[in-house]
Amino acid sequence: MRRLKPYLALLGAVVLLDQVTKAIVVRAIELHDYRSIIDGLLSLSHVHNRGAAFGVLSDARLPHQPELLAALSLAALVAIAYYFVRLPASARLPRVALALVLGGAVGNLIDRVRLGHVVDFVHVYWRQHAWPDFNVADSAITIGVVLLILDILRQPRTEKSEAPGIDAAASTPGRID
């Protein structure tokens, strides 16, 4: 358990930062209001996301949608946590990545259970194009996924292993030595 402490601290920091920033936004910005930070590019907002990531299914109005999304989030959390604890101690980058993903998932799950929606507040746009509003938890999840992809890409590719005792070059069809 001691070897997991730094990763659990990162997970906890993500949850804490996520919840604190959401509480500040809820107190400081009216629902559906926007405050420009960088004109034409970035605003702070206060919106409620009743759907999944990036607003997917936010207008679906499925029966028991908050409970369904919370249950799916919890199932994903359990699966990711199981994978996380089974990683070898040498897998530092995947552990950091999964700590970010888990922290973000916990932060958003807290909102879903407590409020029935997720509070989003970062609004990125350019002219008439806008990215769906997001929050610290979403950012942590995205960074974690990018780190996982980078870790996968940096892994050396291994050739299909041949049967023991067979020289791969000698068994290549059409090869003339």
Residue 90 lies in a domain: yes
| pTM higher than the cut 0.85 | no
Q: Are 37 and 44 in contact (CB under 8 A)?
A: yes
> Residue 77 is part of which domain span?
2-153
The yes-or-no answer on residue 138 being catalytic is yes
Nearest residue to 141 (alpha-carbon basis) of 107, 118, 112: 107
* pLDDT at res. 177: 43
Residues 6 or more apart from 35 whose CB is under 8 A from it?
Answer: 29, 43, 44, 45
- The model's pLDDT over 91-131, given as tens digits with 9 standing for 90+, comes to 999 999 999 999 999 999 999 999 989 999 999 999 889 99
Residue 163 lies in a domain: no
Residue 159 lies in a domain: no
The active-site residue, picked from 120, 133, 167, 177, is 120
- DSSP sequence for 83-105: HHHHS-TT-HHHHHHHHHHHHHH
Residue 172 lies in a domain: no
- The model's pLDDT over 53-92, given as tens digits with 9 standing for 90+, comes to 665 556 666 667 777 888 888 999 999 999 999 999 999 9
Instruction: Indicate if the pLDDT at residue 175 is higher than 50.
Output: no
Give the pLDDT band of residue 159 (cuts 50, 70, 90).
low
Residue 13 lies in a domain: yes
Q: What's the mean per-residue pLDDT of the chain?
A: 86
Q: How many C-beta neighbours within 10 Å does residue 63 have?
A: 6
Residues of the chain by 3-state class (helix, strand, coil), percent to 5: 55, 15, 30
* pLDDT at res. 51: 72
Q: What percent of the chain is predicted at pLDDT more than 90?
A: 69
Residue 170 lies in a domain: no
How many domains does the chain fold into?
1
Instruction: Indicate if the pLDDT at residue 165 is higher than 60.
Output: no
Residue 138 lies in a domain: yes
Residues 6 or more apart from 101 whose CB is under 8 A from it?
Answer: 80, 140, 141, 144, 145, 148
Residue 174 lies in a domain: no
Instruction: Indicate if the pLDDT at residue 169 is higher than 60.
Output: no
The active-site residue, picked from 18, 111, 133, 138, is 138
Give the pLDDT band of residue 156 (cuts 50, 70, 90).
confident
The yes-or-no answer on residue 151 being catalytic is no
* pLDDT at res. 68: 83
